[in-house]
Amino acid sequence: SQQGEEDPQALSIQEGENATMNCSYKTSINNLQWYRQNSGRGLVHLILIRSNEREKHSGRLRVTLDTSKKSSSLLITASRAADTASYFCATDGGYTGNQFYFGTGTSLTVIP
């Protein structure tokens, strides 16, 4: 399976704290993306980082990528209750086309 893994599986923090989740993947990639999913609904794209990039920022999100370790991390700063969701990393497995391999997800709970 080309599915990646994320850790922790679940994370519970207080509002205002930072949340960090990690993703490890198995193959070479062209890019890695992070998505958010609110309970049982569709996924929403958060950020894309290309294989030749090491860090990327978008608002309160910071993503790092280490292709030598085949790992990425997502940092959400100053978390809010509305950030409560599951977060998934997705890689293209080095393929062309729009097929992506999703990690197992981190369930984040932000306590008001």
Partner 1 sequence: KAGVTQTPRYLIKTRGQQVTLSCSPISGHRSVSWYQQTPGQGLQFLFEYFSETQRNKGNFPGRFSGRQFSNSRSEMNVSTLELGDSALYLCASSPAVAGTGELFFGEGSRLTVL
CB of 32 to partner 1, least distance (A): 11
Please choose, from the candidates 20, 23, 21, the residue with its C-alpha nearest in 3D space to the C-alpha of residue 90: 23
- Beta carbon nearer to partner 1, 15 or 24: 24
- Residue at 96: amino acid letter: T
- Beta carbon nearer to partner 1, 33 or 79: 33
* C-alpha to C-alpha distance for 25 and 80, rounded to whole angstroms: 28
Binding site for partner 1 (CB under 8 A): 3, 30-31, 33, 35, 40-45, 48, 88, 90, 92, 95-105
CB of 93 to partner 1, least distance (A): 9
* C-alpha to C-alpha distance for 10 and 69, rounded to whole angstroms: 22
CB of 21 to partner 1, least distance (A): 15
- What is the three-class DSSP state of 18? coil
